[in-house]
Chain A
Amino acid sequence: MLTSIVVILNWLVLCFLIYCSFGYILLLVASIRDIFRRYQEINVGDVLALMKSQTLIPVTVLIAAYNEEENITESIESVFRSDYEQTNVIVINDGSTDGTLKKLIERYNLHPTNYVIPPLIKNTAPVKAYYVSDTHPRLTVIDKVHRCKSDSLNIGINACRTPLFITVDADSLLDPSAISEMVFYMMIRSHAVAVGGGVYVLNGCEYKNGRIIKEALPKTYVAGVQACEYLRSFLFNRAGWNPLYGALSYSGTATLFEHKAVIDVGGFDLQNPANDFEVIVNLHAHKRDDDIPYEIGFTPAALAWTDVPSTLKQFWHQRTNWQIGKLRSLLLHKYMLFNPRYGIVGLFTYPFYLFCETLGAVVEFSAYVLVLLSWYLGIFDGYVVGLFFLVCLGFITLLTLCTVLMNDISYNKYGGLKDMPRILFYVLTEPFGFRQISVLCRVIATVKYFFMKRDVDDMAHSSA
């Protein structure tokens, strides 16, 4: 009896793996044209010359900062270096307890002023002060009572008076052409409401005054593996969704939004640690509910660099938050699942994100258990079990290698031939150990989400 159940479960897992693999291969194929088109546009098409006009749409960069004394000025300086002239910056200090605000006041000659922030998004934490700069007229700093990142961004949205805004993390740097690239991408689409940019790992790079001096792979193993993971995630995964109205997830590190569209969906969710994920799902749902033509896109040509966890403990914490945030968001919008009213998003994108990207970790974990159980019950011998693991993990390695290849022949962010052995080392070793840790982390987060609601609420509140 047990053997029959295990055999049936094995078949189910196999079908699931085929479904996911098929989806990823589709995304990979769909992304290739887009990646090279964007690459040629910046290299030959001179997009930047087209984006030099003073009369183009102004953009506000929102930077939510909580205890970011060390990084905040680097992040702001990187925005000031932008070649898009119509760029303003609003930094929202989320009640930092370190010297973030003091550093900002001193560095940029800030002085408090009176200002009305319209309550376009309601229930935000009280604002303590509003600062403008004598030396940097494009910079505004809002000091508020500590609550969470989503709340800071919502206040930034309320204070923003440009039709477009970009969210940038306080520990991230924007490439000088990133804003131009994102705005350009928005301009070449008929009805784009959000555009995500590619994110690379900052750990290991040399930078000064917001400028990357030397692009390099991270030195620690944990960050190095994430550099490959980010390549996989941002090069083919996001770009592959472009022909299908866009992915459900773009990084909060660098995403351009239409101001009004975000206000219409009520801004960022205060309870969700993956607020960037939630706002995109919400935009899809809202636009489709109201039958408003829209597109959400991704351009790998817009680059941002972000600090990633350099220890396993930090990595675990971050991925737990992401998993819980994604689950919360997807289940909040469960009405979209296989719902033809939501078109391709309801029939393909949402199910793929739910089953492969989010619950995929649980299935993968079950697969490990089932295969070992099958071996124990004598359904498979040790040889087949070994083969099975090699096939599954080899597939992930192949996908990552393909993105490394695409990166190399396009944006080529991680050096030349001499960096190849290190990249290959990360690509080859990631599926054996690191991936299982990541899967375990996401499984535990999923269990917590469904069975330990109180813990999850506390965690969400502290990290959202």
Chain B
Amino acid sequence: MDIGVSTKIIEGILIVELVLFLIILILTYGLKLWRDRINRSRQAKFRHIAQFFDKLSGNNESFTPNLFEKSWRKGRETFMAFFAADKAYSDNPGWQKNRATFLETTLLPMARNFSHSPLWLKRFFASETFSISADRDDEKAIIKLTKDKVPLVFYHSIPAAIKVESEVAINNIIDRFAEVNWIPQTLFLEMFKNAGPNIREFIVKRLQSTDKSAIRAACYKLLRQFPAADLPVEQKDLESDNFELRLAALKYLFEKDPKGAVPYLIMALKDPHWEVRLIAIHRLSSLKDESIIPALAGSLSDSDWWVRLSAAESLKSLGRKGENILHERSPELAQIPFDASKHISHTLW
């Protein structure tokens, strides 16, 4: 390439850089000023709405929608102020009296509009509102939100789906639950804690209608959030190739019928997956039954350190007979005060 042309190209690039530089500089300053202005106006709006809620909680008059300004029905500030007030005035009879009317007449219609928005923040507020108040008419919107790709929207749609008892939405949640690993599953399980018997029935129905091991494992895990009921655990699940299904079925079986689960737990001590063996030890030792000592003693030679440690801890917790086994294996082992481990906070898990 001719040197003159190269020079022109480099000069061109430099000019572009300089222009970009100036634009970014102006943007930086401009956006700072703009953001400060927007924030001030949002904060002012939030304050006004918060003051309105404050008044609402303090007097005995009933809320009527015409009291709520039209301009407040559009932005996010109404939702933010409402949820803040809901926390602050949870014990206030004035607030409780007007809250339901406000939700019904103002916030829910806003949430219904927001639930179809392409902006995730609006869908989030819709989801959050449905999570505290929704009726059967909102089922369609909630089903849509349970398929939302944005996690915050999706997570808030779980309590909403539970509230309206939507089978389709619950099935969407089960599908999503089965796709993720144990870390996000913790959050799902948290949300199913106070679910009613109908939700349990949906999960049972799903369990009985599918052969997919990931879905079956998900169903067992979710069912453990409900009081144990007479749902038989299928033998094929306890012998599945999928260790998560074996583990979930075993845990469910134990919660349903601890004594009846003992033979399966003893079998699980030989499971190829260390986590299944570990859980089997924990569950067996929780029974405080000396008859399981020989089975636990076998786990002292397990290939996995955690399993061996848990077996030793369990034997120790079973009293003199268990300690004797430890003594026989290694006098040093028995002398280790495993109680020391309880000092540290990791016993939480």
A positions within 8 Å CB-CB of B:
37, 40-41, 44-47, 50, 53, 55-58, 60, 86, 88, 113-116, 118-120, 130, 132, 137-138, 140, 160-164, 186-192, 258, 293, 379-380, 383-384, 387-388, 390-391, 394-395, 397-398, 401-402, 404-405, 408-409, 416-417, 420, 424
Contact B28–A391 (Cβ < 8 Å): no
Q: Across the interface, which residues of A come within 8 angstroms of B231, CB to CB?
A: none
A58 & B10 in contact (Cβ 8 Å cutoff): no
- B183 to A57, Cβ gap below 8 A? yes
User: Are B345 and A137 closer than 8 Å at their CB atoms?
Assistant: yes
Contact (Cβ within 8 A) B305 A118:
yes
Q: How far is the CA of A137 from the CA of B348 in the complex (A)?
A: 11
List chain B residues, Cβ under 8 A from A416.
Answer: 32
Knowing A191-B180, A391-B14, A397-B21, the reply to whether A160 touches B28 (Cβ < 8 A) is no
Contact indicator B183/A401 (Cβ below 8 Å) = no
Interface residue B267 (Cβ < 8 Å from any Cβ of A): no
- A44 near B17 with CB under 8 A, answer no
**With the chains together, A420 CA to B27 CA distance in Å?**
13
Complex interface: chain B residues within 8 A of A53 (CB): 190
Say which one of B97-105, B162-170, B203-211, B334-342 lies at the interface with A: B334-342
Q: Is A55's CB under 8 angstroms from B183's CB? A: no
CB distance from A307 to the nearest CB of B (A): 27
B181 at the interface (CB under 8 A from A): yes
B155 at the interface (CB under 8 A from A): yes
Neighbour of B27 across the interface among A189, A192, A258, A405, CB < 8 A: A405
**Minimum CB–CB distance for B20 against chain A, Å:** 6
Which residue of the partner chain A has the closest CB to B155?
Answer: A50
Q: Which A residues are CB-close (under 8 A) to B3? A: 379-380, 384
Residues of B within 8 A of A (CB): 3, 6-7, 10-11, 13-14, 17-18, 20-21, 24-25, 27-29, 31-32, 35, 76, 80, 83, 120-121, 124, 151-152, 155, 179-181, 183-184, 186-187, 190, 305-306, 309, 336-338, 340-341, 343-349
For A187, list chain B residues within 8 Å (CB).
Answer: 151, 183-184, 186-187
A-B contact pairs, 23 of them (CB 8 A): A37-B120, A41-B152, A44-B76, A44-B80, A50-B155, A115-B344, A116-B309, A116-B336, A132-B343, A161-B346, A162-B348, A191-B180, A191-B181, A258-B183, A387-B10, A387-B14, A388-B10, A401-B24, A401-B28, A405-B28, A420-B28, A420-B29, A424-B25
Taking CB atoms, residues of chain A closer than 8 Å to B180 are 189-191
Closest B residue by C-beta to A55:
B190
> What's the least CB distance linking A336 to chain B, in Å?
24
B21 in complex: contacting residue of A190, A388, A401, A420, CB < 8 Å = A401
- CB < 8 Å neighbour of B346 from A88, A391, A395, A398: A88
Q: A116-B309, A118-B305 are in contact. Are A408 and B31 (CB under 8 A)?
A: yes
Contact B24 A45 (CB under 8 A): no
Q: Give the shortest distance, in Å, between B23 (CB) and chain A (any CB).
A: 10
Across the interface, which residues of A come within 8 angstroms of B7, CB to CB? 383-384, 387
- How many residue pairs between the two chains, A and B, have CB atoms under 8 Å in the bound complex? 147
Are the CB atoms of A118 and B309 closer together than 8 Å?
A: yes
Enumerate chain B residues within 8 angstroms of A45, measured Cβ to Cβ: 121, 124, 152
Bound-complex Cα distance A383 to B7 (A): 9
Q: Is B305 a contact partner of A405 (Cβ separation < 8 A)?
A: no
B344-A186 in contact (CB<8A): no
Closest CB of chain B to A428's CB: distance in Å?
Answer: 9
The complex places the Cα of A384 from the Cα of B5 at a distance, in Å, of: 11
Which residues of B lie under 8 Å from residue A57 when comparing CB positions?
Answer: 183, 186, 349
Contacts of A56 in B (CB 8 A): 186-187, 190
Shortest Cβ distance from B340 into chain A, in angstroms?
A: 5
Smallest Cβ-Cβ distance to A394: which chain B residue? B17
A390: chain B residues within 8 A (beta carbon) = 14
- Does B340 contact A114, Cβ atoms closer than 8 Å? yes
Which B residues are in CB contact (< 8 Å) with A132?
340, 343-344
CB distance from B222 to the nearest CB of A (A): 15
How far, in Å, is B121 (CB) from chain A's closest CB? Answer: 6
B83 surroundings in chain A (CB, below 8 A): 46
Could you tell me the distance in whole angstroms from the C-beta of B159 to the nearest C-beta in chain A?
A: 11
Q: Which residues of A contact B337 (CB under 8 A)?
A: 113-114
Q: Beyond A160-B346, A187-B187, is A409–B31 a contact (Cβ under 8 Å)?
A: yes
Q: Given A53-B190, A114-B336, A408-B28, A189–B10 Cβ distance below 8 Å?
A: no
Beyond A161-B349, A391-B10, 18 additional pairs, beta carbon < 8 A: A50-B155, A56-B187, A88-B344, A116-B341, A118-B309, A119-B305, A130-B340, A137-B344, A161-B346, A162-B348, A162-B349, A384-B10, A394-B18, A398-B20, A398-B21, A401-B24, A405-B27, A424-B25
Highest count of chain A CB atoms <10 Å: which of B28, B309, B338: B28
Question: Could you tell me the distance between the alpha carbons of A50 and B347 in the complex, rounded to whole angstroms?
Answer: 23
Which A residues are in CB contact (< 8 Å) with B6?
384
Please, which residues of chain B bring their CB within 8 A of the CB of A37?
Answer: 120
Tell me how far the C-beta of A377 lies from the nearest C-beta in chain B, rounded to whole angstroms.
13
Bound CA–CA A126/B347 (angstroms): 24
How many angstroms from the CA of A391 to the CA of B121 in the assembled complex? 40
By beta carbon, the residue of chain A nearest B346 is: A161
**Do B28 and A113 touch (CB < 8 A)?**
no
Q: Which of B14, B21, B29, B338 contacts A417 (CB 8 A)?
A: B29
